[in-house]
Structure 1
Amino acid sequence: MKKIIFALAMTAAAAAPALADQALATSKNCMACHAVDKKIVGPAYKDVAAKYKGDKAAVDKLATKIMKGGSGVWGAIPMPANPQVNDAEAKKLAAWILSAK
């Protein structure tokens, strides 16, 4: 019984940061153009994670793109800059995006 309770507690603890990061993404309007598992205006986060899998510089690259915007990587529609996102938030969002499956 103790093992089951411990396993449930660990699962809840692991899920909490993911939910907090999705909450951050929602509060910064990221979810207006992106979803975890499907393309909306921009790519699905799971597709972004797959594209950058194994890239050790991916968090920094994506954090910069989150703040400054970009174009050409995912098609003709550019991603606008997000001046409401600071560096720490951008890195937290990038790490969360890269963990999408």
Structure 2
Amino acid sequence: MKRALLIMAAVAAVSAPAMADQALAKAKNCMACHAVDKKLVGPSYQDVAKKYAGDAKAADMLAAKIIKGGSGVWGAIPMPANAQVNEAEAKKLAAWVLSLK
């Protein structure tokens, strides 16, 4: 019984930050155009993580794009600026996206 509780606690500790960041993405309306594992209007977050894996500057670049928007990287449809997101939230969202497998 103790072992099962320890395993459940470990799983909760590992998944809680990821779920919290996904909740932030939902709250800031990012999920209207993006999904974790499939393309919607924009690329999946997993595809973004793959594209920028190993790029030390990716987190800062993505945080800036979250706030200011961007175009041309994933096709013809531009990503609009998100005025709802502050700099700290953008950095948290970028780190979460880059952590996805």
Give the TM-score normalised by the residue count of structure 2: 0.95
What residue number does 1:74 align with? Answer: 74
% identical equivalent positions: 72
What residue number does 2:85 align with? Answer: 85
Deviation at residue 12 of structure 1 after TM alignment: 0.5
What residue number does 2:38 align with? Answer: 38
Contiguous gaps of at least 5 residues in structure 2: none
User: Number of matched residues?
Assistant: 101
Give the TM-score normalised by the residue count of structure 1: 0.95
What residue number does 1:51 align with? Answer: 51
What residue number does 1:97 align with? Answer: 97
Deviation at residue 5 of structure 1 after TM alignment: 2.4
User: Residues of 1 paired with 2:60 and 2:87: CA distance?
Assistant: 10
SS in 2 for 1:16: helix
Contiguous gaps of at least 5 residues in structure 1: none
What residue number does 2:9 align with? Answer: 9
Deviation at residue 100 of structure 1 after TM alignment: 1.4
Deviation at residue 83 of structure 1 after TM alignment: 1.1
Does residue 65 in structure 1 map to residue 76 in structure 2? Answer: no
